[in-house]
Amino acid sequence: MMRRTIRLLVILTLAILVAPLAGKAQLPAKVPRIGVLSTGSPRVFSARFEPFIQGLRELGYVEGQTIAFAYRFADGKNERLPGLAAELIDLTVDVIVTSGTPAAVAAKQATSMIPIIIATATDSVGEGLVANLARPGGNITGMANLDTELSGKRLEILKDVVPGLSRVAILWNPANPAHRPALGESEVAARALGVQLQPVEVRAPHEFTSAFSARSMSALARSCSSRTRCSAVTAHRSWSRRPRAAYQRCFGSKTLSRLAA
């Protein structure tokens, strides 16, 4: 699945870059430049983006030779994204690839002329990025991970694994526009399942410690001693691996493997 996703992103990017050259006798001297706008940090992003670079390389597009990149990272500070998007536009990039819903929103607000390819976004329609998934329109195309629609289903699966589940804490970031609709879907599912949902705000990685040590989370953790009334801690996939450790402490490694399958 990941390989197909990367391949599609490569095809979309090249299609946009090559389209203006159709009908011309020879390639221009100008090297195409791809702007990359990410909500994360270079360290986290590089591992995810390497397959994209490799896919371009396999098609003859080598960074620094036949293609150029301009990277801008918000390092988790989404308020920086509008300024970073403006910097990419000032560099006259040919296309912008975004990672994360806030980055896609910032890019859309910054330009209606430069093509934008969304590598990851949760609710492209709900956030007003595209008209609909079948015909996005405008200058935007890319991928949708349907995370909002799947939020309720994840809670259902959790309830199936632990039938006596009574309370669930969800780590979420109010500054991320993708998290609020996902939380809303989880709340709807929680009411239907008879589960008490407890949102816990985490806006940056350094806030995980305080979130897990908060009184409400401590109460949830204490209930993990009873498997039949175990309270779960779940989180959006874009966070760190700490929630995985919480799952494992609560359910055990075997149950965690079933959840991840």
CATH fourth-level superfamily of 2-142: Response regulator (3.40.50.2300)
pLDDT category of residue 163 using cuts at 50, 70 and 90: confident
> Which of the following CATH numbers is that of domain 147-260: 3.30.413.10, 1.10.540.10, 3.40.50.2300, 3.40.50.720?
3.40.50.2300
Pairwise CA distance, residues 119 & 104, whole Å: 9
Residues 95-141: pLDDT tens digits? Answer: 999 988 899 999 999 999 999 999 888 778 777 888 887 888 889 98
Q: Do domains 2-142 and 147-260 have the same CATH topology?
A: yes
Pairwise CA distance, residues 6 & 167, whole Å: 37
Q: What is the mean pLDDT of residues 63-67?
A: 88
What integer best gives the mean pLDDT of the chain?
75
